[in-house]
Amino acid sequence: MPTYAYPSRTVRDAEVPLLEAGVPLMAHAAAALARFCADRLRVDRGQVAGARVCVLAGPGNNAGDALFAAAALARRGARVGVIVLCGTTHDAGLAAALAAGADRIDVSADDSPSTTAGSPSTTVAASTAWAAALTDLDRADLVLDGVLGTGGRRGLPPHIAHLIRDWRERESGGTVIAVDLPSDLDPDPAEPAHARIHADATLTFGGLKAELVDPRTADFTGDIHLVDLGLPLDADAAVAELLDPSDLRAEFPRPRPESHKYSRGVLGIVAGSRDFPGAGVLTAGAAVNAAPGMVRFLGDRDVGDRILDRHAEVVLTPGRLDALVLGSGDPETGLVETALTAIGDTVPVLLDAGALEMVGHAEAAPLSGGAHRLRGRPVVLTPHAGELSRLLSRLLGEIITAGRVTADPLLWARRAAADTGHIVLLKGSRTVIACSDGFVVLPARGPASLATAGSGDVLAGIIGTLLAAAHADRRTAGDDGPLSDREAAHAAGLGVLLHNAAGERAVNAEQLVTAVGQVTIALLHGEDPTDGILVQ
């Protein structure tokens, strides 16, 4: 099943009825954290006994999780040090840790090194407590970050930020586990990246927090592990959906005994041109290899002839469609508009490359003759950062550079989706798929080998096929309405995962088309597409 991410407040609110009913959520969280830390210590050093564990303890409940977990590790022979950073911390958790043999160090603002008045170059020496805290951190095999939790304000108090900076600049090698959230997880912090907490893993409780899925924070969270506490979270309240290869294996559209070519989805493609015929060949080839019911190529006839040389099953005549892909390889505008005006009112459309020029503001008049046909149906835009920067610059009337888009892909994909009213699939090292209401789908990261000419054409063909399958399922079930934007974005996310899996066994776009077929064969037969499939 997909994993959903929620605003932190939504997760906290969902805890309330369980806490009121007496469910010991902290005990469950701390036990899971202790097990995770013990497993990590066994991997890193062979055993828990004798390991040095240091807890950075703030004032909130996540410090309680860390302290109870540290107490459990101490009872198994670990040597635990607790650094109390705010004068107080979770009382019961601290008592449990001390009772299990932990040592306590109190560090306050008065303990931090400071610059003397009138002499910027002269620094007052740190206190004994400060030095002891740094020594404890340096020696630790494992550090638990329990400074701030979901209720904490972003940004650490100055003395804590100073301690973290001093510690990280010493480059000590202990494993860092963030409890629920890394405490200084701020995409735009005052502290430089090298002086902030870089967790090797984050154990988050109850529900995945939205802060953890921002691509800008990946370097600070490490691997994210969700501990299910049985919270009554509704997927409708989620702000993001994460997809991984297990979702592709579970949900890839497979034919049923009663299936026929029209029930499996018919994809129309207008792609390629005399200058760029390969784009049409790649888009159509990827679509065919992703196993639709039928592919209709409605573009330039010379490109169509090239496609037939490779894929004799492609049809070159118009007819029923369940999805339409437009724009890869700069096809003629007239062909694009003809195809767009001929489809049903609910058929999803994917716009790539040159077809993005058709897109305007959601509430504005359309820019070209067929563009009015984009309204009332799911439309997926598939720009890379350069194309999105040009689209945004045109829509916003200001220069938005590709560098700005790359620096904050979530922000700009959401902005473009809101302004256009369409789904925006921003291609890049981490693909972001944004709906106009701000909801995002985040497929797992793909291999760097996908950064090659023609890769986007292949992706368009794959996504078009999955959109056609989803629309055909709805149609054959008797529902004449369009896919919702979230359903279309989900199908697009599955397409990204298929593209990623093919990219693991290809180094260029032509090989990628072949690999799409190999991965699809594995999926159709219930196999793991990552096992033993090689490019031929």
Domains of the chain, first to last: 3-238 (3.40.50.10260), 245-524 (3.40.1190.20)
Q: Report the C-alpha gap between 435 and 484 in whole angstroms.
A: 10
Output the known binding site for (6S)-NADPHX: 279, 329, 384, 457
- Residue 149 or 518, more confident: 518
Q: Annotated binding residues, as ranges?
A: 279, 329, 384, 427-431, 456-457
279 in Cβ contact with 253 (< 8 Å): no
Asked whether the beta carbons of 231 and 207 are under 8 A apart, the reply is yes
What is the pLDDT at residue 518? 96
Task: Judge if pTM exceeds 0.85.
Answer: yes
**What whole-number percentage of the chain has pLDDT above 90?**
76
In this prediction, residue 535 carries a pLDDT of: 36
Q: Of the candidates 453, 446, 536, 532, which has an alpha carbon nearest to the alpha carbon of residue 496?
A: 446
| Nearest of 35, 36, 52, 48 to residue 102 by alpha carbon | 52
pLDDT of res. 125: 56
Q: What is the mean pLDDT of residues 348-353?
A: 96
pLDDT in tens, 33-60: 999 999 999 999 999 999 999 999 999 8
Highest mean pLDDT among 141-150, 175-184, 360-369, 381-390: 381-390
- Average pLDDT over every residue of 295-310: 96
Report how far residue 267's alpha carbon sits from residue 116's, in angstroms, rounded to the nearest whole number.
72
Q: Identify whether the C-beta of residue 375 lies closer than 8 Å to the C-beta of residue 400.
A: no
Q: Count Cα neighbours of 522 within 13 Å in the Cβ-side half-sphere.
A: 19
d(CA 410, CA 187): 12
| Cα maximum dimension of the chain | 84
Task: Give CA–CA dist 151/145, Å, rounded.
Answer: 15
Nearest to 213 by CA among 40, 439, 28, 58: 439
Give the residue numbers of the binding site for AMP.
Answer: 427-431, 456
Type of residue at 40: R
Which of 326, 328, 497, 503 minimizes the C-alpha distance to 422?
Answer: 326
Nearest CA to 352 among 280, 441, 302, 267?
280
Of 374 and 321, the structure prediction assigns the larger pLDDT to 321
pLDDT tens profile 407-422: 999 999 999 999 999 9
pLDDT of residue 54: 96
What is the 8-class DSSP label of residue 477? T
Q: Which of 440-454, 465-479, 520-534 has the lowest mean pLDDT?
A: 520-534
Read off the pLDDT band of 183 (50, 70, 90): confident
CA 9: distance to chain centroid? Answer: 20
- Which H or E element spans position 164? helix 158-169
pLDDT at 517 over 70: yes
Q: What is the pLDDT of residue 119?
A: 43
Model confidence at 102, pLDDT cuts 50, 70, 90, reads very high
b/e 291-320 (16+ beta carbons within 10 angstroms → b)? bbbbbbbbbbeebbebbeeebeebeeeeee
How many other CB atoms are found less than 10 A from the CB of residue 416? 26
